[in-house]
Structure 1
Amino acid sequence: MRLPGRLSAAIDVLSEVETRKRPVSEALKSWGLANRFAGAGDRAAIGNLVYDALRRRASHAALMGDDTPRALVLAVAIRDWDEDTVALNASLAADAHGPAPLSDEEIARVTGQLSDDTPAHILADSPQWLAPSLERAFGDNWIAEGQAMTGRPSLDLRVNTLKSQPDRVVKSLARFAPRHTPIAPNGLTMPAGPGDARTPNVTTDEACLKGWFEVQDQGSQIVAALVGAKPGEQVLDLCAGAGGKTLALAAAMANKGQIFAYDSDRNRLAPIYDRLKRNGVRNVQVRAPASGALDDLVGKMDRVVIDAPCTGTGTWRRRPDTKWKLTPDLLAARTAEQSAILAEGARYLKPGGVLAYITCSILPGENDDRIAAFIATHPDFASLPPADLWQAAFGSNLPPNLETTGSGITLTPRLTATDGFYFNALTRPG
């Protein structure tokens, strides 16, 4: 497919997302099944157009004076992909499979600039109702943080030290030119390319099939390391999901001690079994959801890890459609769940144990506020100093601007070149 056909397909997919409220991944898959002539490169390019349009939906719509799929996709092609308007219009006029050429008004708009009085939330490409929360989280830098969320994410890997080492994986994936991550000691990264660049398909590589690495954002690796799990400890991963952080904890513990992996949703937990086997993990006991499934663990855990259900605002680069679907009601539901699971997690700690609270959110209401509310009802708990946690995990000083007012740590694309994550570790006297 040539660019005009790809633009037309992206407009169709985005229309499907908008009108039928479908997740982008589902709409792209459906388009691919209905258009089997399209190759892998075509599907990747169309996906890039759609995701880029949603990442900067607010600012592109404001510039174009229109939020239709056509307006958004054309803005991406010219402003993000650097297509020349004259050359693009010539190709659109000559290709029956593409959208209509740009009008004079569209050209004037797409080559112009946003006005000086453009609202801040549009500059930040964020929902207007979240502006106060984002400003509270990041102060004067909140617009820059929002803009950083509009970029494409890198592809990050965590080398499984139970089976391999970073340099060995680098050699296996040399054709993709992986680099060592700047913070996570066993991480590798492949920066996202521009335009129609495809994401490296590493999951079919022999090294992946052998369990030498797992695809995992560096931010997720960082918060897993901050948990501080040590060989021989008893650890409860209370919201294990598919097991990404469980696997990282098992490697940190060198397969010694015991991790209990639990999730209230049996379907989310299902993939963990194959992943444990492929990674060579032997110190994880999976606890399926059932009445009394964790009763024998009450008061016995050295560490309880809560990777809490959240709005996922930290993953807006990967799932930009969720940015525009988030509502105050959904946020309220998540904060209620978070408070409940923090209280539940505390039951399993032994005296002197550590309660690690993690979200992939950048909103204070899901992060510092939840910790403050928990401490208000559990005054025997206190947060551990973030600088000490960072030093213990990485042997270096905590980078500037990562510590929150509530003694947590926030990671963001702008500050750490990762997805957005929050971490807070609490303990009570032994």
Structure 2
Amino acid sequence: MKPRPDYFSDDRPPRRRPAKKRPPRKSATERRSERASKPDRPRQDRPTLVPRTARQLAFYLLQEGDLLGERERGGQPPLFATERLESAFTEFALSPEDRRLAQELLNGTIRRKGTLDILLSDCCQRPLKELELELVWLMRLGAYQLVYLDAIPDHAAVNETVDVARWYDKQRWCQFLNGNLRSVSRLLAATEVIGPATDTLPTRDGHFRSLTKPLFADPRHEPQRYLSETQSFPGWLLDRWSKQYDFDELARLCQWFNAPAPLFLRVNSRKTNRNELLSQFEQAEVAAEAGSLDNSIRMRKSYAIRNLPGFDEGLFTVQDETPQRVCSLLNAQPGEAVWDMCAAPGTKSTCLAEAMNNQGTLLATDINATRLKRVQENARRLELSIIKTDVLPDNPPYAIRVQFDAILIDAPCSNTGVLGKRSEARWRLRSDDINELARIQRHLLGAALTFLKPGGRIVYATCSIEPEENELQVRQFLQGHRDLELQSEEKFTPGQPADGGYAALITRRTDS
């Protein structure tokens, strides 16, 4: 027998295998978070998504592309959420109640994104930016219901939102989503509060919601930051507004932009009058009332517009009172040649054509051919034959051989006067965009002047409340054109009673 190697000798201490180092055990929350963020296996049989409920439709639109450019993928949808929602209502069959809830969920979740992210970040153990963007939107959707929709019980908000994950074929999200939404629910205290504090946030109608811990800036020392965090507005935008508004007005503007915007209709005066249309609405049990303008109707509830009495017959169109006032300022007359320079989707073009009693020439142009189709659709429904459309190139020269009596420039702008209706605008806008937009506006004013008759008039309008896009823009333009005169201008304050914006009436001297 061979001698044993000495390393087996009994007089040596037994050799022990080094202990295997194990990573520290992760918590259940961390394991759920990792499972939720794992990519799905490729599946060829994933069914086409067909939203059947309000929450499914809201999420369907929220997850479509990088809505707010958060991940810098450059996949933002070309249309605003409210525009896509109207198309979705036509495509997918939902009950009237679900349509109203879908509208509230979609716009509310986008508007309140900043505040919702503060709450979710406190409850979630992983940074939101490390999670799939679609999952983050679904978390926001659930949190919005918990925080802002008192009529929905917490358990229903959580369970129904988790069901959306199953519908979206994301079973692995469910446990993570359920846990984090329940954490948000526990963060909300039941006690009533009457004012701002580090552990309260304003909801609606001046009411405040209490939290179980402080999460916000101290309103006594940093009131503007508190407003930014609890009303969900970019800080740079509030800094800008604070130069022209005091704090109370800032707070009012934020509250207005975060509430559902009132819906106005413009009566087609060529076919009916306001009293007759209101009578039809009353017979159909549609809640509406006279607006502050002769042809304006204010809707008291949300309805599917296409289903309202008189829509197919062209008796009305949707238009806020502020743009109705802008069109009135141009004072288009029957027989005139009128140019609506940035026309799509055509609500102002049709307003001008109605004022002209469908007599004369009205050219509606835009750089977007797809959006111009909506101008044609609206004109056909309202039976306005004088509207002709044309696609403009991005830059002059324009192949237009007509001199116009009146020109409307509804210029591209920052949309800061309509942030409630265009929910994404506050998040897409950057501080340097306003200077670039002002440059485009100056270009449009100069181009329009080429086609204006002596004695003709221009209305320059925006849906912005920024001076650089409004009165300062007009003052600067007039300094370089001595043949022009400012006849009148009007600033429209958001919420008093309708959209915010600006309009200036400029005329050209007859001897120019």
Question: Fold conserved (TM > 0.5)?
Answer: yes
- CA deviation vs aligned residue, 1:138-193 (integer Å, no higher than 9, x gap): 445233223211111122211111111112222233322211112x210112135x
| Matching residue of 1:51 | 107
1:171 paired residue among 266, 273, 279? 279
- CA deviation vs aligned residue, 1:377-416 (integer Å, no higher than 9, x gap): 223323213xxxxxxxxxxxxxxxxxxxxxx322243222
| Matching residue of 1:392 | none
1:362 paired residue among 446, 455, 465? 465
- CA deviation vs aligned residue, 1:48-84 (integer Å, no higher than 9, x gap): 2231122233345456665854664455324432248
| Matching residue of 1:77 | 145
Shift of 1:339: 0.6
Residue 124 of structure 1 contacts residue 144 of structure 1 at CA under 8 Å; is this kept in 2? Answer: no
Distance 2:83 2:150 in 1: 26
Residues 248-263 of structure 1 mapped to structure 2, 5 A cutoff = 248-263=351-366
| Matching residue of 2:238 | 131
Distance 1:58 1:147 in 2: 14
Residues 1:259 and 1:39: Cα distance change in structure 2 (over 3 Å): closer
Residues 1:206 and 1:28: Cα distance change in structure 2 (over 3 Å): closer
- CA deviation vs aligned residue, 1:291-310 (integer Å, no higher than 9, x gap): 8655432xx42211101112
Residues 1:50 and 1:240: Cα distance change in structure 2 (over 3 Å): closer
Q: Which secondary structure state, in structure 2, belongs to the residue aligned with residue 270 of structure 1?
A: helix
Rg larger for: 2
1:150 paired residue among 258, 261, 276? 258
Normalised to the residue count of structure 2, the TM-score between the two structures is 0.66
Residue 409 of structure 1 contacts residue 423 of structure 1 at CA under 8 Å; is this kept in 2? Answer: yes
One-letter amino acid of the counterpart of residue 346, structure 1: L
2:435 paired residue among 328, 332, 353? 332
Residues 1:347 and 1:123: Cα distance change in structure 2 (over 3 Å): farther
- CA deviation vs aligned residue, 1:17-73 (integer Å, no higher than 9, x gap): 4667644749987xx89x989756445424422311222333454566658546644
Q: Is the counterpart of residue 185 in structure 1 residue 294 in structure 2? A: yes
Higher mean C-alpha deviation, range 128-137 or range 98-107: 98-107
Residues 221-240 of structure 1 mapped to structure 2, 5 A cutoff = 221-240=324-343
Distance 2:93 2:367 in 1: 41
Normalised to the residue count of structure 1, the TM-score between the two structures is 0.77
Residues 1:254 and 1:27: Cα distance change in structure 2 (over 3 Å): closer
Distance 1:97 1:216 in 2: 37
| Matching residue of 1:121 | 228
In structure 2, runs of 5+ residues without a counterpart are: 1-52, 123-127, 129-135, 165-176, 190-198, 201-208
Larger RCO of the pair (alpha carbons < 8 Å, separation 6+): 1
Shift of 1:136: 3.5
Distance 1:322 1:128 in 2: 14
Distance 1:151 1:220 in 2: 20
More helix by share: 1
Q: Which secondary structure state, in structure 2, belongs to the residue aligned with residue 427 of structure 1?
A: strand
- CA deviation vs aligned residue, 1:191-245 (integer Å, no higher than 9, x gap): 35xxxxxx30121345111111111122221211122222333322222223211
Residues 1:185 and 1:332: Cα distance change in structure 2 (over 3 Å): same
One-letter amino acid of the counterpart of residue 97, structure 1: D
1:420 paired residue among 476, 493, 500? 500
Residue 11 of structure 1 contacts residue 69 of structure 1 at CA under 8 Å; is this kept in 2? Answer: yes
Residue 28 of structure 1 contacts residue 47 of structure 1 at CA under 8 Å; is this kept in 2? Answer: no
Residues 30-429 of structure 1 mapped to structure 2, 5 A cutoff = 41-42=97-98, 44-62=100-118, 66=122, 69=137, 72-83=140-151, 87-89=153-155, 92=158, 97=163, 100=178, 102-103=182-183, 106-108=187-189, 111-112=209-210, 115-116=218-219, 117-118=222-223, 119=225, 120-122=227-229, 125-140=232-247, 141-174=249-282, 175-182=285-292, 184-192=293-301, 199-289=302-392, 295-297=400-402, 300-385=403-488, 408-416=489-497, 418-429=498-509
In structure 1, runs of 5+ residues without a counterpart are: 193-198, 386-407
Residue 352 of structure 1 contacts residue 429 of structure 1 at CA under 8 Å; is this kept in 2? Answer: yes
Q: What is the aligned-residue RMSD (CA, Å)?
A: 3.6
The size of the alignment, in residue pairs, is: 389
Provide the identity percentage.
25
Distance 1:265 1:129 in 2: 31
Residue 350 of structure 2 contacts residue 384 of structure 2 at CA under 8 Å; is this kept in 1? Answer: yes
Residues 1:355 and 1:177: Cα distance change in structure 2 (over 3 Å): same
Distance 1:379 1:334 in 2: 24
Residue 145 of structure 2 contacts residue 157 of structure 2 at CA under 8 Å; is this kept in 1? Answer: no
Distance 2:93 2:296 in 1: 37
Distance 1:133 1:223 in 2: 25
Distance 1:6 1:250 in 2: 37
Q: Which secondary structure state, in structure 1, belongs to the residue aligned with residue 266 of structure 2?
A: strand
Q: Which secondary structure state, in structure 2, belongs to the residue aligned with residue 45 of structure 1?
A: helix
